[in-house]
Structure 1
Amino acid sequence: MRFWLYKLTYDNGGAPCAFRSVLSLAICKPRIREWARPGDWIVGFGGRSRPQLRGERLIYMAEVAERLTPCRYYEDAAYAGRPDCIYERKGDGLVWKPGSRFHLYGSGVARDLGPEPHYPKANVLLSTNFRYLGAAGTEDYKAKHPALAAAVEAKGVGQSAYEPGSTIGRELAALQRELWREHADRRVLGHSTEPPEQGGEYVDAGAEGQVATRRGPGCSGPRTIVREHRRRGASC
Structure 2
Amino acid sequence: MTLHSYVIEHDMGFAPNPFHRRCSLAACKPLIRASATLGDYVMGTGTAHNDMRQHLIYWMHIDEIVDFDAYWNDPRFRRKRPVMHGSMAQRHGDNIYHSLPGGGFFQADSFHSQDDGQPDPANRDRDTGRTQRVLLARNFAYYGKHARSIPDEFRGFIKKGPGHRNKFTAANLAYFMEWLLADPARGYIAEPTDWL
Structure 1, unmatched stretches of 5+, are: 115-119, 196-215, 217-236
Alpha carbons 2:141, 2:188 under 8 Å: kept? yes
User: What is the rounded CA distance, in whole Å, between the counterparts of 1:101 and 1:155 in structure 2?
Assistant: 24
Answering whether residue 133 of structure 2 is matched by residue 110 of structure 1, we say: no
| SS of aligned partner of 2:44 | strand
Residues 53 and 95 (structure 1), Cα distance of their counterparts in 2 relative to 1, 3 Å cut: farther
Alpha carbons 2:45, 2:52 under 8 Å: kept? no
Answering whether residue 20 of structure 2 is matched by residue 25 of structure 1, we say: no
2:52 alignment counterpart: 54
Answering whether residue 140 of structure 2 is matched by residue 130 of structure 1, we say: yes
2:90 alignment counterpart: none
Alpha carbons 2:142, 2:188 under 8 Å: kept? yes
2:163 alignment counterpart: 158
| SS of aligned partner of 1:31 | helix
Answering whether residue 179 of structure 2 is matched by residue 170 of structure 1, we say: no
The AA in structure 1 aligned to 2:19 is: F
2:11 alignment counterpart: 11
Answering whether residue 144 of structure 2 is matched by residue 142 of structure 1, we say: no
Give the number of equivalent residue pairs.
178
1:44 alignment counterpart: 44
Structure 2, unmatched stretches of 5+, are: 81-92
The AA in structure 2 aligned to 1:188 is: Y
Deviations, residues 60-88 of structure 1 (Å, cap 9, x unaligned): 01100011135322344442330101224
User: What is the rounded CA distance, in whole Å, between the counterparts of 1:38 and 1:121 in structure 2?
Assistant: 16
2:67 alignment counterpart: 69
1:121 alignment counterpart: 131
Name the larger-Rg structure: 1
User: What is the rounded CA distance, in whole Å, between the counterparts of 2:113 and 2:151 in structure 1?
Assistant: 32
1:103 deviates by 4.1
| SS of aligned partner of 2:18 | strand
Alpha carbons 1:53, 1:193 under 8 Å: kept? no
Q: Please, which moves more after superposition, 25-34 or 87-96?
A: 87-96
2:83 alignment counterpart: none
| SS of aligned partner of 1:80 | helix
* TM-score, normalising length: structure 1: 0.68
2:183 alignment counterpart: 179
Higher RCO structure, 1 or 2 (CA under 8 Å, sep 6+): 2
For the aligned residue pairs, the C-alpha RMSD in angstroms reads 2.2
Residues 47 and 171 (structure 1), Cα distance of their counterparts in 2 relative to 1, 3 Å cut: farther
User: What is the rounded CA distance, in whole Å, between the counterparts of 2:162 and 2:60 in structure 1?
Assistant: 20
